[in-house]
Amino acid sequence: MGPARVLRVLAALALLGACAGGPGNAWTELSLPGPGTRLLRDAVACGGHWYVVGGRSGPDGETSPAAWDSVDGHAWRSLALAPLPGSYYGPRSVLYAVSCAHDRIAAIGSRGGGAHGNPRVSTWYQRPDGSLAEAAATFETYGGGTAVDVGRIAGGPSGFLLAGNRTSGAAAWLSADGTSFRLFENAPGLARAFARDGAVLDDRFVLVGSLGDAPAAWTSADGASWRRAEVPDGDGFAELQRVVRLGARLIAVGPRGDTYSAWSGPEWAAAGRFGKVDATGVRSLTVAGQRLYAAAGGLWRSVDGGRSWLTVTTPRGARPLSAVAGRDDHVLLIAGDRAWLAHGV
């Protein structure tokens, strides 16, 4: 092999190496305390702490809610949880989504129950002492004859937003502090729509999802009525499944045809495409050090606001991915009953 060909091969190898994140050993596996099998579902950085939420499963298969926090990402403690007095499903729930507002977290949990095994949804708010308390709610707030699902929770300057769906279409639940939520269903603008996620901005709430086979986003000042924004469509089914705030912009990610795509809002424009759509869809989206990280099949990273994406090498055993959370230049990754932390991947 001549010198020129050797140089070309070396350059190609260097380029391939640049297309992936740091090596698998860049990740440090975390040790979360407590008995039973861990059921880890979501994570967030909030008020100078990391939080992981999920549950535990005992030898008899019975579940209970669980949450952990850490200042440095390495030393973790279990948080106390306080179900409502007399609550049946709360003490048996698994927390599956968490967000942050005003330096405190709120979470959604559920446990199947009733004659049909439908999810019995509960929400949990953080007390000043750091513990999580189950919020009081009527059965119809999250259940009842028009219930479909309660999906994600978002936090921001105006409090918390739950994104979900009722038989009439997309729905929203709003709370200033997470201690109680008000349901908005049959709201003008949301009929026949499907909501996947949301965002809380300084002066408005945002829902993202789909309307038919087309991606869709809506904004509201108070939850009572919603205005649909134009989102660029594409060939085949497309949907906004996760959304985060990146500086003054919103970045949403979801399937678009047979690949994943990013959109930049709130004046929505299509950005870069990546990967190949699978049945799990986009599980999580976060920001760390002005970089975007998406858990969609594998772990993907964008350093230019979603215009281009590269794969990130994940730890061995980190499949399927459940969630990814970011703080400064650190990324926390969850898969099943395991969690890892990395810097600068």
Higher pLDDT, 113 or 104: 104
Task: Take residue 38 and report the two structure tokens written for it.
Answer: 């861990």
The stretch 306-335 carries a mean pLDDT of: 96
Q: Check: pTM over 0.85? Answer yes or no.
A: yes
φ and ψ at residue 36, rounded to 5 degrees: 80, 180
Burial call 251-268: b when 16+ CB within 10 Å, e when fewer: bbbbbbeeebbbbbbeeb
Three-state DSSP class for 9?
Answer: helix
Mean pLDDT value across the chain: 92
Number of neighbours of residue 106 by Cβ within 10 angstroms: 28
| Banded model confidence at residue 17, pLDDT cuts 50, 70, 90 | very low
Task: Take residue 226 and report the two structure tokens written for it.
Answer: 């919603």
At residue 116, the pLDDT reads 58
Element (H, E) at 222: none
Tell me the per-residue pLDDT of 53-77, one tens digit each, with 9 for 90 and over.
999 999 888 999 999 999 999 999 9
Q: Strand 147-156 vs strand 132-134: parallel, antiparallel, or unpaired?
A: unpaired
Cβ neighbors of 133 (< 8 A, separation 6 or more) are 81, 82, 84, 124, 125, 126, 127
The stretch 261-272 carries a mean pLDDT of: 96
At residue 266, the pLDDT reads 92
Reply yes or no on whether the pLDDT at 13 is more than 50.
Answer: no
